[in-house]
Amino acid sequence: MKLAGATTAAAAMFATGSSADEDDYEVIEASGQTINVDNETFENKLIDVSNGNAITVSVGDDATIRNVGVSGLYQGDGFIFSIGGGGEVEFDNVYLGDGANKTGGDHAHGPGAVFYHRNASADVTFRRMNVQGYPNNGFYCSNSANGGAITWIDCYGKNNGVSTFRAASGEDSLHNCVAYNDDTDYSTDYGSWGGYTEDSGRPLWVHSPGGVVAEDCHFAAGSYPSAVLTHDGANATLDGGAISGGTSGAVDTSSAGSDPDLSVPDGVPTSPEEAVSGNEHGGSGSGDDEAVGNGDDEELPNALVFDGNETTNATRYEFEVAGDVEPSSGEDADIDGSLVHGVVADWSEPFRFDGDLEQLTLDGPATVSLDGDEIDPDDYGEEYPHTLEVEGEGEPTSFEVTVDGSIDLESSAAEDDETTTVSGSTVQSSVTDDTVTVEFSGALTDVTIIDGDATVRLDDDVIDSDDYGDHKLLPHALVIDGTEDDDPSEYTFTASGAVVESTYQDATIDDDDVIEAQSVTGDVDGHLDAYWFDGDIEDFTLVGNATVDIQYNVREQ
């Protein structure tokens, strides 16, 4: 799953370091106090509310709440966690699963778990949270419409009154989350709600104009009429996952199944003690990067994170380590032994590894951090770590080379050859009895021998050009021309067959354009983009006034 499919705030902060030992946490007895957390980390705390007293953790600017468990039935009137600051706020590995009861007071619905204030402006990420049995919402975050974005990742909610996930902003999103009602008798399991039953139980409630996407989430309404409800012009889309129960408002469930998996997501703590000890998936440490989704911190002690959160432009990356490497949450990277390459846009991709970071290249605006500290890729290895040689065999041979990264022509003779062009990540040239050499970063995605024969070597090893790219001599061309329009145009399309960026009709090849399988996203702003493709164009969307031209079998013309 792509974390935020991916979305702008779809990446939680990365936890580095080791988990807390069983006795390596502080016990806080509730006594009506307020604990202020501002520009700091509040972690490894067991909050004991079994004495019936209230407690408030006031979350300010750039705060992190990690490895925290609330033990006992909560009998206060307000919310335990109250978010009122700005910047980046993170919750990771937090247990609020012992529930609460309604005792009267200022809040009509009784106590709640997490509240996002109307005057808050923080971008908040909740990861691996367990929230159950709170009468006044599990996550009351519909005030995010006033500023900030909320992201839930691997969160679990059960039997929360009013709603479990209460969202608003068009930037809010949920990923691999579960919420449901099983008609629990609260007087037995969570204490009396004082007879309050109205509006109890929406798994997801979306307020105010703006769309919220729930990716791979599972919701069940129980006896409540709606598992997902939208309000005041809002809309919700379930992308994957499953839903049981009705919906109300603008809810798109066309991509969701009907048999939700209501088990606790991997890594979510199931007790206060498990949370404060930093369970096997739980985080502890600096919190400056994305959370570990899998892997063993002791076996793979180093954390490398590619962060594209600040921009929607794509960044291609490649790195090589001296030991083992595995992704922490992203699934899209290509890992070949200790060599990794991939693409990141408005999300983050974290990795764990051991040994030294030997090689790192970055093509695009993303940043990269190592064990919580931002690093300069130029400090690690060569700018162009790979070499490709095309050696002629005595007859004129044209070829085209494309990489998923940056490319540089090394052969000085070819630089002076009018038949040689270098555009973006593609080189087109010809050889007879000479050799053209290019250096590049990233992955070799295509070698096309257009006519004749040549010997091709990748990093000194002879390769078969047919093994690289399934788009050799793709027959059709798609051209998006923005040269006659003063304003930029954005486009997306999907082909039924392979697709590759091209310099056809002197088109540019842009690092910002993203190709994922047969789907392409890009833009033109005073220039022209072109693609070779096979099959048909199954879907095309254009925002702007660029012209679009599809030319079939153009290679034969």
Domain ranges of the chain: 26-274, 295-379, 386-467, 476-556
- DSSP label at 21? P
Q: What is the pLDDT of residue 548?
A: 93
Question: Taken in order 450, 456, 462, 465, is the CA torsion positive or negative?
Answer: negative
Question: Taken in order 420, 422, 428, 433, is the CA torsion positive or negative?
Answer: positive
Residues in the chain: 557
What is the distance between the alpha carbons of residues 402 and 511, in angstroms, rounded to a whole number?
Answer: 12
List b or e across 236-268, with b for residues whose CB sees 16 or more CB atoms inside 10 angstroms: bbbbebbbbbebebebebeebeeebebeebebb
What is the distance between the alpha carbons of residues 110 and 102, in angstroms, rounded to a whole number?
Answer: 5
CB 329 within 8 A of CB 293: yes
Q: What is the pLDDT of residue 17?
A: 31
Q: What is the pLDDT of residue 473?
A: 57
| Strands, sheet with 421-423, edge to edge from the N-terminal-most edge strand | 421-423, 426-431, 397-404, 443-451
Give the residues across from 156 on adjacent strands.
130, 178
What is the distance between the alpha carbons of residues 16 and 173, in angstroms, rounded to a whole number?
Answer: 25
Cα-based distances in Å from 329 to 178, 300, 308, 335 = 18, 14, 15, 14
State which amino acid sits at residue 110.
Answer: G
What is the distance between the alpha carbons of residues 402 and 427, in angstroms, rounded to a whole number?
Answer: 7
What does each of the 557 residues of the chain score in pLDDT, given as a tens digit? 223 222 222 233 333 333 344 457 899 999 999 999 999 999 999 999 999 999 999 999 999 999 999 999 998 888 999 999 999 999 999 999 999 886 555 555 678 999 999 889 999 999 999 999 898 899 999 887 677 899 999 999 999 888 999 998 678 899 999 999 886 544 444 444 433 333 457 899 998 767 899 999 999 988 778 899 988 788 999 999 999 988 988 999 999 999 999 999 989 999 999 999 874 433 333 333 333 333 345 578 888 988 876 554 567 788 999 999 998 754 557 788 888 887 777 677 889 999 999 889 887 788 899 988 889 888 887 778 888 999 999 888 888 888 766 788 775 545 555 556 666 678 888 889 889 998 887 777 788 888 788 999 988 888 888 777 544 456 788 999 999 888 889 898 988 877 777 777 877 766 667 776 678 888 898 899 988 887 889 889 898 899 999 988 775 54
Give the residues across from 173 on adjacent strands.
151, 213
Q: What is the reported pTM?
A: 0.50
Q: Is 466 exposed, middle or buried (0-12, 13-18, 19+ CB in 10 A)?
A: exposed
Give the strand pairing for 489-495 and 64-71: unpaired
Q: What is the pLDDT of residue 555?
A: 58
- Centroid of chain to Cα 243: 22
Q: What is the pLDDT of residue 404?
A: 66
Close Cβ partners of 168 (under 8 Å, ≥ 6 residues apart):
141, 142, 143, 144, 145, 206, 207, 208, 210, 212, 234
Q: What is the pLDDT of residue 475?
A: 77
- Centroid of chain to Cα 124: 14
Of 424, 538, 402, nearest in space to 470 by CA: 402
- Centroid of chain to Cα 333: 12
Q: What is the pLDDT of residue 280?
A: 41
